Amino acid sequence: MSDRAPTAAPEPRGDTDGVRRVLVVDDHRTFTDLLGRAIAAEPDLAWVGAAHTVEDALHQTRALAPHAVVMDVQVGPGDGLEATRSLVTEHPDLRVVVLTAFATQSLMHRAVDVGAHALLPKDGGLDDLLAALREDGRDGFQVHPTLLRRLLDRPAAAASSEPPVHLTGRESEVLHLLAAGLDPSSIAKRLGISRHTSRGYVAALLGKLDAHTQLEAVAVARRKGLLHEHQ
């Protein structure tokens, strides 16, 4: 029996009927079933299939032409992040939202490096996941605030005053360019670095500033006075 959700013949990616096609990749069939049905209930989203192995995810992405993929970090014995790298390399306009039950700094940076667009907790709210699937930006990287709090790993008895934020020279440059309204691709061109490297600096800034979007990072940086040093 096929694991795929019932669907019409695949359409090319892009703006067709205004409905975003979503493939769910996870080795837990109950999870893919429940999440798929929740996605299918949204008028602007369509659940086109479920894959339970990395190989099936690659095959179904080619066959079903989704606009977005929900990818678990671990898909059975397979590496969901390496699968993400393959998918984004083969389909550059594909949006991949990665789910994880346990986040580390290394995992966050790997997610950026492989081309994922968002990192969310697997036990998070459905609304946050749906919002990440609807997001149009191709270059930004979002980390859910719950994961950021875990990543920061601050002791419970932290001092009442906020610790200073130390940025490298390059991180400060990237921060100022974000504040000027540039996206990671434009920043990469301005600084002569790769897009992946640019997105890596943005991810590092999100972690250091305890922010889950680029706009929030700029707002926090302004509050901390980090955008006045080089102006």
pLDDT category at 179 given cuts 50, 70, 90 is confident
CATH dotted code for 169-223: 1.10.10.10
Contacts of 79 (CB under 8 A, 6+ apart): 54, 73
Widest CA span in the chain: 62
pLDDT category at 150 given cuts 50, 70, 90 is low
60-90: per-residue pLDDT in tens? Answer: 999 999 999 999 998 988 889 999 999 999 9
CATH dotted code for 20-152: 3.40.50.2300
Instruction: For the chain, give the mean pLDDT.
Output: 82
Residues of the chain with CATH 3.40.50.2300: 20-152
Asked whether 220 and 209 are in contact (CB, 8 A), the reply is: yes
d(CA 57, CA 69): 9
CB-based burial of residue 205 (10 Å sphere; 0-12 exposed, 13-18 middle, 19+ buried)?
buried
11-34: per-residue pLDDT in tens? Answer: 444 445 789 999 999 999 999 999
d(CA 23, CA 60): 8
CB-based burial of residue 42 (10 Å sphere; 0-12 exposed, 13-18 middle, 19+ buried)?
middle
Residues of the chain with CATH 1.10.10.10: 169-223
Q: Is the pLDDT of residue 41 over 60?
A: yes
For residue 120, the surrounding DSSP H or E stretch is: strand 118-121
